[in-house]
Chain A
C-alpha cells in the first residue's frame, strides 16, 4: 500500500505492507534509525515518536495509519548545529548511558514540556513511567527534564 506523511518537515511517500509497523517503516524504509525498537509491544517506550503533537509508540502503530500525519522523530528535534536545551540538559545531568532508550525519553519529554512547561517532578515521573531505562536509574532523567522546563516556557506553544 502507498502511504504518505510528513517526517521531520519533509514529505515521505512509501510503499508498505499493511502489516508493517510505523517503527519498522521509519527505521528500515526511511532509514531514520534513531527511533529504537526494544520490545515491540508498547512496554519499553524506546520507539516513541511525536505524531501530530502527541507522543506515540511507533511499534503499536501501523505505517498505513500514519497517512496524512505530521511526524517528528528524535532526528527532528535538533538541527545539525547545536543540541536543543532538552538534549543539553540530558547531557549535563548524565541522563543517558547506552543511549538506546534516549530517543524515546527525549520525544516523550519534548511532547510533555511542549504541552506542560510548568509540570512538576511528580508529573514528569508519571509521564516517563511509560519509558524503560536499564542504565541510569531514572533519577538523572527526571532532573534533566525538570531542568529543561525553562526553555519551553519561553517558547511555549511554538514547538510541535
Chain B
C-alpha cells in the first residue's frame, strides 16, 4: 500500500513545462478558424471629451472590411462593465460603458470596432474613421478631482466615487493627551501588472444552436459568463467560456473588460468567428492600472514606542470608471493600514477619486503594497523620533500570539468584521533578521564602504488568502482506469496543474502518472466555479479536489463491493489501480469504471484568513552615479502547508522582482 501524502510537499517538476518548453502551449492568439474575422478597436486619444461625430463611411468602404461597430449599432444605453466585488449602489452611476456613448473619459477608451479579413486591414481601417471630439479639461490628480471643478459624470455631481472608513476603538480619545504624535504624508505611483501575453479573445457564434463559444477567457470565467449572458440576452448554458494557456495574470488579466462584451457581440453581429489580440500599446492604455494612492496619516504613541492610535485620510486614484474589482485596492488601504501590528484605535477614511485615467483594478496584493509602504516608512520615522531602534519598535507592536484572534479595523459601508486569526509574528520577524544577518549588517547602515553607502530596511505585512465563497471540482475515473481532474479554479501560469495533480494523486492514493490531466477554468468542466484571485486557488480548488476525491473513492468502493461481494467499507483501493476486498479478492479499476465513474466535490469558506511575513533588504548606493546595488533580500512568510516548494519559491522570488 502506498504511503499517503508523499507527493504533497515534494518539489515535483511541473507538468505544464513539457508543452511550454517545446513551444506547444496554446495561448488564445495561437488559435485559427475558418472564415475568421479580425477585430481592431479605435481608442480615444483624448483624456476627456464629448463625442460630437463619428464618421465610419470611409472605413466601411475599405476592401476587406466586413463591418464597423459603434455604440449606436449596439443600442444606447450600451451595457456597463459590472462590479464583481463590492457591488455597491454608489458605483452604479460610474460604471464603464462597453463602448463610449457620448463622452470619452480616458485615453484608450473604445470608440469603434472594426471587423476585417485580416488584422492588418482592420488596423488600416481604424485610420479611416473620423471622430470629432470636443475636448474637456482633463482631471489628472487628487487636487483636480477633489475640487469638482470639472466633473467626469455630471449627474453624479462629484468626482468622489465613494468613501470607505476603517474604524477600531476610539481614535479621537487615543489622540487626546497622547505623549507623542506625528503626522506624515506619503504617496505611491501607478503601476500595472503587465503580463507577457497581451489579452486576446476568439468568439464563435453558432446561429443554428444559439450557442456562443469564447476562447481566451481567464481568471473568473463563471462570473464573466453570467455577465455576458445577461448582456447578450442569451441563457448561461448557451455560452461556453474556454480557458487556454494564459501568459500571466497578476490580478489584471481575466476580469470582465469592455472587449469581453464587444468581441462576442461582434461574432454574433457578423455571424462569423471574430478574433481580437491587443497590442502592447493598447494593453498599457486599457488594462487595469493600480496602486496610485496618497495618504495624510497621523500616529499616536507612548514615549516608549507603544502605538496608541492611527488616524487619517487616504486618497485612491481610481481612474475614469469603477470596473469589476476597482474598489478592492482602496478598501484594503483602509483595512490593512495597521498590518500585523496591535493598534487598538484606528480611524482612517479612504476616498475613491475619479480622474481621466485608465480605470484601476487589483494587482498583486491590492492595497497592501501601498499601505505597507505608508506604515513601515512611518514607523521608521517614529522610531527615530523616539530614539528607539526601528526593529525594537516593531517588536513592541507586532500582535502577540496570545492576543489572537485579534480584530482588525471594521470597514464601512460593509461592516465586515475581520481578525488576524493565528500565527507567531515574533518568530517570523526574528527569523527574517537572522537570515539577513541584521545585527551584523545594521552596523553598516548609513556608512560608506568603498564609496558606496549601505542601507538596510525592514517591513512586515499580512496577506489575505483563500477567498470564498466556494470552489467546485469533479474527478472522473476514466474507462481505462486513469483519473481526470476538473476544477473551477483558473490557471494563469502559476503551475496549477502540477500542484492540483499532486493533491489529487495523494487523495486518490494513486501515483501521479495515473492523473491524466488537470482541466481547469473552462465553464463546461464543473457546475460552478469561482476562479483564481486573492491567493485562493490552492486552498479553495485544492480542497474541492480533496472533497471530489473522497466522493469518488466512495463511489468506486460501492461499485467494487458489488463485484467483490463485500461491504463498501471493506474495500481498499491500492495504488489507484485496483480495489481489494478484505478477503483479498481484487478488481482492476479499469474493469470497474465501465463508461466512467464521476464525482463532484465542493469546498466552502466564509472566513477571511491572513498569512504574514517580513521582507528585509540590504542595498548599497553609489552617491555619484545613483546606482543601487541590491546586496541581499530576504522574505520570510508563513506559507502554511506547502504543496510544491519549487513553485512557492518561484512565485515568491518572481513577485519580489516584479
Contact = CB atoms under 8 A, between A and B. Distances in A.
Interface stretch (B24-32, B84-92, B366-374, B449-457): B24-32
Interface residues of B, number: 46
A87 B18 CA distance: 9
A90 B29 contact: no
A98 B14 contact: no
Contacts of A91: 13-14, 17-18, 21
Interface in B274-302: 279-280
A97 B32 contact: no
B284 to A, nearest CB: 10
Interface in A47-93: 73-75, 77-78, 83, 87, 90-92
A134 interface: yes
Contact of B248 (A31, A77, A135, A140): A135
B20 A134 contact: no
Interface stretch (A32-40, A119-127, A149-157): A32-40
Q: Specify the main secondary structure of chain B where it touches its partner.
A: loop
Contact of B197 (A36, A74, A140): A36
A148 interface: no
B251 interface: no
Q: Specify the main secondary structure of chain A where it touches its partner.
A: loop
A82 B372 CA distance: 46
Task: Point out which of B22, B26, B280, B493 has the most chain A C-beta atoms below 10 A from its C-beta.
Answer: B22
Given A40-B280, A100-B248, A135 B493 contact: yes
A113 interface: no
Contact of A38 (B23, B197, B492, B655): B197
Nearest to B657: A137
A17 interface: yes
Contact of A74 (B17, B23, B492): B23
Contacts of B25: 34, 99-100
A94 B358 CA distance: 34
B195 interface: yes
Nearest to B653: A137
A94 B493 contact: no
B21 A83 contact: yes
Given A38-B280, A106-B21, 4 more contacts: A27-B29, A99-B247, A100-B197, A135-B248
25 contacts: A33-B29, A36-B197, A38-B196, A39-B280, A44-B196, A74-B22, A74-B23, A75-B24, A77-B23, A78-B21, A91-B17, A94-B647, A97-B493, A98-B195, A98-B247, A99-B245, A99-B493, A100-B25, A100-B195, A100-B493, A134-B658, A136-B650, A137-B653, A137-B658, A139-B653
Interface of B: 13-14, 16-27, 29-30, 32, 120, 193-198, 245-248, 250, 279-280, 492-495, 646-647, 649-651, 653-658
